[in-house]
């Protein structure tokens, strides 16, 4: 009995060691994606291709936008992600006015980034109308629409952004000689329902919107090439070629693989049919490249397990973000508050500085810190740390400054040194105010920590982000409700902690 068990253990250990060794031998290739469904689906496609090419993929999904992905790519936190040529031109190389794919490719190469050929679809603005009506009126292109005798009877409603953009409605109208309409905006998703209900017949769409399939909409061809091209391309780090040549080869198979119809279909499956993005991507690759991909953890019970796991994971990540940033802020901000109190002139500078820090947009802080701190928890912790400084510094300073003069004198005349006065008298007297500042910072942090999801730090922001992306209200609640509950718990916990930290004599006075 005993030898069998020992040998069994040994076998398991050896097995585990060998598999983990095999795993580490595979090159790690990290994929990024932005916080909208198309990007996440494409990230999953890349993930499967990396695995098929002998790499060990890791998907940092739902990052907070172009700048986050781009900075992460440059810093090596991700190795590749799918971007759009229009976005590269407008947002990434905005200072350079680069035109044409070849010059884009060169400009990116100078930054150590390789741009693939087109993946096949172009996700840009277009005009859409119900397929049935378009067929009846024989309208295929925007020029057809402009020339249609029925045009005066066709009602148009556009999204606010489309109306306001330079390359939106106004330019389009001039280009095609379309009639002027009263510029009344409508929510993008409501625009589709309006088409269906017949309240209007023409609206702006994105050419790969899932709703195009759902509502059977004809996308009118932009025959004068008015709208800028947003051709999907794969951006990858140039050094990936050396680290994982086979993976790069495998990734290249995505070029020309996905046309608009295929992308619309995948978007619709993920967003409307609520099929897991990984499954959507796997089915697509099975269909196109005949890859057979086994996905772990499918089935009802596995999903349920995942849900509770996710909640626990999110909670732990969220608590980690809040507590690490808060502790760091206390360590820095309380001394800053003390210095401000002891040296009023320096104090004004300190208080103004932390006040300015408070006004920095979270997104800007995250984007700026990614090159230094990478993706994940650290940039989020850093941002939360910055936002915690003001309430703690301010309350420490105020708490110390508000000590009545006669108590300050009493400490002086006893012959206590400045340090002893601070430790024995002033800080205890200011403790109520300091604790108040820390409590404020903690509660604000619990709410603000949801931004962590934008840089892949997890937490309760993750379900919120996914919920917004999938238009799934229950998923949003899965993040928002625990975050709110956590804020209440934190508040209560501090109320309890105050009993230990604030001296009893002060609590008598305050009641």
We find the least distance from the C-beta atom of residue 337 to another protein, in angstroms, to be 18
Judged by beta carbon, residue 358 or residue 431, the one nearer another protein is 431
Return d(Cα 121, Cα 219) in angstroms, integer. 13
Least separation, in Å, of the C-beta of 502 and another protein? 8
Nearest approach, Cβ of residue 409 and another protein (Å): 6
Q: How far is the CB of 413 from another protein (least distance, A)?
A: 4
Cβ-contact 221, 141 below 8 angstroms:
yes
CB of 508 to another protein, least distance (A): 5
Cβ atoms of 326 and 389 within 8 Å: the answer is no
Rank residues 214 and 416 by Cβ distance to another protein and give the closer one: 416
393 contacts 340 by C-beta, under 8 angstroms: yes
Name residues whose C-beta falls within 8 Å of residue 240's C-beta, 6 or more positions apart in sequence: 29, 79, 80, 114, 247, 248
Pairing of strands 231-237, 217-219: unpaired
Kindly state the smallest distance separating residue 410's Cβ from another protein, in Å.
4
**Number of neighbouring beta carbons within 10 Å of residue 360:** 13
Name the nearest CA neighbour of 327 among 396, 398, 388.
388
Is 432 or 478 the residue whose CB approaches another protein more closely? 432
Q: What is the dihedral of CA 493, 499, 503, 509, to 10 degrees?
A: 110
Smallest distance, another protein to C-beta of residue 419, A: 11
398-404 contacts: CB < 8 A, separation 24 or more? 398/433, 399/337, 399/429, 399/430, 399/431, 399/432, 399/433, 399/434, 399/437, 400/337, 400/338, 400/341, 400/426, 400/427, 400/430, 401/341, 402/430, 402/433, 403/429, 403/430
Least separation in angstroms between CB 429 and another protein: 6
Pick the closer one to another protein by CB: 256 or 503.
503
In 3D space, the residue among 423, 421, 429, 428 whose CA is nearest the CA of residue 403 turns out to be 429
Q: Which two tokens stand for residue 167?
A: 């390359």
Cite the DSSP H helix spans in 360-472: 362-373, 377-401, 405-413, 418-421, 427-448, 461-470
* CA–CA dist 86, 100 (Å, integer): 10
CB of 65 to another protein, least distance (A): 49
Closest to another protein by CB, 287 or 409: 409
The tokens describing 160, both together, are: 């606010």
Q: What is the DSSP secondary-structure string of 120-151? A: EEE--EEEEEEHHHHHHHT--BHHHHHH-TTG
Comparison of 407 and 488: residue with beta carbon closer to another protein: 407
Q: Buried (b) or exposed (e) across 154-178, using 16+ Cβ within 10 A?
A: bebbbbeebbeeeebbeebeebbeb
Shortest Cβ 38–another protein spacing (Å): 60
Paired tokens of 289: 């490249």
> Pairing relation of β-strands 56-63 and 28-34?
parallel
Q: Which is nearer to another protein, 1 or 413 (CB)?
A: 413
**Nearest residue (CB) to another protein, 152 versus 415:** 415
Q: Considering the complex, state which of residue 21 and residue 405 has its C-beta at the smaller distance from another protein.
A: 405
Least distance in angstroms from the C-beta of 341 to another protein: 17
Which residues contact another protein (rule: CB under 8 A)?
A: 406-407, 409-417, 420, 424-425, 428-429, 431, 503-506, 508-509
If the CB atoms of residues 174 and 423 are measured against another protein, the closer one turns out to be 423
Q: Which is nearer to another protein, 32 or 436 (CB)?
A: 436
């Amino acid at each position: 009995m005993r030898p069998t068990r020992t040998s069994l253990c040994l076998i398991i250990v050896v097995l585990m060691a060998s598999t983990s060794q095999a795993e580490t031998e595979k090159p790690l290739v990290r994929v990024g994606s932005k916080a909208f469904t198309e990007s996440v689906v494409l990230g999953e496609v890349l993930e499967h291709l990396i695995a098929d090419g002998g790499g060990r993929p890791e998907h940092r999904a739902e990052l907070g936008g172009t700048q986050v992905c781009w900075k992460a790519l440059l810093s090596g936190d991700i190795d590749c992600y799918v971007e759009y040529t229009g976005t590269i031109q407008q947002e990434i190389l905005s200072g350079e006015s680069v035109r044409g794919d070849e010059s884009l490719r060169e400009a990116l190469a100078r930054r150590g980034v390789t741009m693939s050929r087109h993946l096949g679809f172009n996700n840009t603005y277009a005009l859409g109308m119900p397929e049935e009506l378009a067929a009846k009126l024989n309208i295929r292109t925007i020029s057809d629409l402009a020339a249609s005798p029925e045009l005066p009877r066709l009602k148009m409603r556009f999204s606010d952004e489309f109306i306001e953009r330079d390359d939106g409605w106004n330019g389009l109208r001039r280009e095609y000689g379309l009639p002027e309409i009263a510029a009344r905006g409508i929510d993008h998703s409501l625009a589709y329902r309006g088409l269906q209900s017949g309240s209007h017949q023409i609206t702006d769409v994105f050419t790969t919107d899932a709703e195009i399939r759902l509502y059977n909409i004809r996308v009118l061809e932009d025959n004068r090439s008015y709208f800028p091209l947003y051709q999907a391309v794969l951006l990858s780090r140039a050094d990936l070629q050396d680290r994982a040549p086979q993976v790069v080869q495998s990734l290249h198979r995505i070029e020309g693989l996905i046309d608009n119809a295929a992308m619309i279909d995948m978007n619709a499956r993920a967003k409307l049919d609520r099929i897991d993005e990984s499954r959507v991507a796997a089915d697509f690759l099975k269909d196109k490249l005949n890859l057979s991909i086994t996905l772990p953890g499918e089935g009802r019970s596995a999903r349920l397990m995942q849900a509770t796991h996710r909640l626990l994971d999110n909670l732990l990540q969220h608590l980690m973000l809040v507590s690490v940033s808060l502790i760091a802020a206390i360590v820095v901000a309380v001394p800053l508050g003390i210095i401000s109190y002891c040296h009023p002139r320096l104090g004004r500078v300190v208080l103004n500085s932390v006040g300015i820090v408070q006004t920095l947009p979270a997104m800007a802080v995250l984007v700026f810190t990614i090159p230094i701190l990478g993706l994940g928890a650290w940039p989020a912790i850093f941002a939360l740390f910055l936002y915690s400084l003001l309430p703690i510094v301010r309350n420490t300073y105020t708490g110390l400054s508000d000590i009545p003069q006669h108590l300050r004198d009493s400490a002086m005349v006893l012959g206590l040194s400045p340090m002893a006065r601070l430790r024995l008298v002033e800080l205890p007297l200011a403790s109520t105010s300091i604790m108040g500042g820390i409590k404020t910072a903690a509660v604000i942090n619990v709410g603000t920590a949801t931004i962590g999801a934008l840089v892949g730090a997890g937490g309760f922001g993750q379900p919120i982000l996914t919920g917004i992306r999938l238009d799934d209200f229950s998923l949003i609640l899965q993040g928002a409700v625990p975050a709110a509950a956590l804020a209440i718990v934190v508040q209560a916990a501090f109320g309890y902690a105050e009993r230990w930290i604030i001296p009893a004599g002060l609590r008598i006075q305050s009641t």
